Structure 1
């Protein structure tokens, strides 16, 4: 699913500026489709769009229907079967069907759920957004469940970190790089939107909010720094902790941590040696193996992005 925050903020800005729009949300799919439930597109009052529900002639058809609703008001549940022609237009071999809830928004009074969702997501809390449409003269509600944007915390600002930070941005992570060397953790090596923080590694980690949407990659320049970084985060609520190093180095660090009082059970959640086993050699390949493991963990637990439909009592 594409980033939700920019789309939600766009909706709020447009409606507050007295410009009507339509939110188009895929609420159900069957078979092979270019986008799954939760994909969003906004059709503005000038017919321009923000976001995507898959492109091609299917998206164009939804866009036309949504633009009509923007002008006339109302809502609709649009059901489209992907035939050979529409699938080919997307460059894909799809033979499924999609249902798209199209809800128009024209008044600021409609925006309370959107403000609430934005506030939650900006605080790292999952959000739920109700989307109401009319279907066969009955008002129904779907609920879009949105996970907060994941944060990748990279400890160490070396060459692997540079490669990984770039990849993580493409994978829609917020990225922060920490190092105790100011000439490494700097904007010239990690340009915006990557955040860099130079300082004592443990102090910087203690200042960081770490929750279930946080992924931590430890790739410092040495055994000592890896040890203190892992010790600082081992009992955190991070969704992922990975540490670079040979099996021998990992064993030594784990042994030191256990001797200093860390429970062996906590160490089982650490991905070390880090990355998927793809025989990576170069810094770029190692970064790819780590990024692949982040994806694997992130997508391991499937959450129902769309709940409903529920009847809305009048």
Structure 2
């Protein structure tokens, strides 16, 4: 979302007219949630999505007309035979899309300031008073990857497209290079457990432990298991995981605290290759991020094996 705001600012600073289309209301079953956004440029190009299909096409058409002879407005779409039949999107719900037209540099400054505030770790609000819309914009969640090996590299590539701010830690400099992790905002070389203990960890932090050996995994887990991280996952076979958890429990870490560790890491989707393992880890992080029970997904996998 911050990229959308910065893109609007850049275009306004270049003298372009830009429209921002925001879903401000959603009732029933809809292809997008409240807050979804799409930019419409003066040349008809769109960035972002409102869910595709007729809704998006008609919003674009109406917005382009408003950019030349009109102004801000709210469009209401009833997702029935009128909007959605051709796309197979007869959801039965209703979607309200507010269209804002921006033409001046003052608006560019506001979007720049909002994005800068959030990127610096703060929180800001995006408001459309005339639509009764107010949205809190929080910093993207942080993903700390302990280890710079093959799985870490593949995971960073996937996570970069999921709006995670990525930090990679390894005690081998060659394994945390910008060439290996171009999407990482922070690449740290040093003892993994020590560097992990220095990181600011809160309930928007996801930690993935994929070091080169169970000794390093154990040290890394011990450094973060008491933290308020939203997600902690550790790679390894069930036997290795059990050995590591028992060792940490002997250090005095309560069993209930260890129970929140996702290990073996990732959803059981039958992953085999490094890239597939990265996808399974990312899928589990998404489930936690969105508040979906990973137990239910695991149960579905077990049921499919037994059927």
- TM-score bucket of the superposed structures, by smaller chain: 0.7 to 0.9
Is structure 2 residue 88 aligned with structure 1 residue 97?
A: no
Unaligned runs of 5+ in 1: 134-139, 302-314
Q: Which has the higher helix share?
A: 2
Counterpart-to-counterpart distance in 1, 2:129 and 2:46:
20
Find the counterpart in structure 1 of residue 232 from structure 2: 241
Q: Note the alpha carbon deviations across 1:113-163, whole angstroms, 9 max, x for none.
A: 534531342134443210133xxxxxx420123343222221112222233
Find the counterpart in structure 2 of residue 164 from structure 1: 155
Q: Which has the higher strand share?
A: 1
Is structure 2 residue 196 aligned with structure 1 residue 205?
A: yes
Find the counterpart in structure 2 of residue 194 from structure 1: 184
Find the counterpart in structure 2 of residue 136 from structure 1: none
When the two structures are superposed, what TM-score results if normalisation uses the length of structure 1? 0.80
Find the counterpart in structure 2 of residue 131 from structure 1: 128
Structure 1 residues 224 and 11: alpha-carbon distance in aligned structure 2, compared to 1, 3 A threshold: same
Find the counterpart in structure 2 of residue 41 from structure 1: 38
Shift of 1:177: 2.5
Contact 1:22/1:69 (CA < 8 Å) preserved in 2?
A: no
Contact 1:129/1:143 (CA < 8 Å) preserved in 2?
A: yes
Shift of 1:111: 5.6
1:148-297 to structure 2, matched below 5 A, reads 148-188=139-179, 190-194=180-184, 196-297=187-288
Contact 2:30/2:91 (CA < 8 Å) preserved in 1?
A: yes
> Alpha carbon RMSD of aligned pairs, Å?
2.9
Shift of 1:292: 1.7
Is structure 2 residue 67 aligned with structure 1 residue 70?
A: yes
**Match of 1:184, SS?**
helix
**Match of 1:272, SS?**
coil
* More off after superposition, 89-98 vs 198-207: 89-98
When the two structures are superposed, what TM-score results if normalisation uses the length of structure 2? 0.81
* More off after superposition, 19-28 vs 164-173: 164-173
Q: Note the alpha carbon deviations across 1:68-104, whole angstroms, 9 max, x for none.
A: 3333453211112234464254464544331101122
Structure 1 residues 237 and 127: alpha-carbon distance in aligned structure 2, compared to 1, 3 A threshold: farther
Unaligned runs of 5+ in 2: 293-307
Counterpart-to-counterpart distance in 2, 1:280 and 1:17:
46
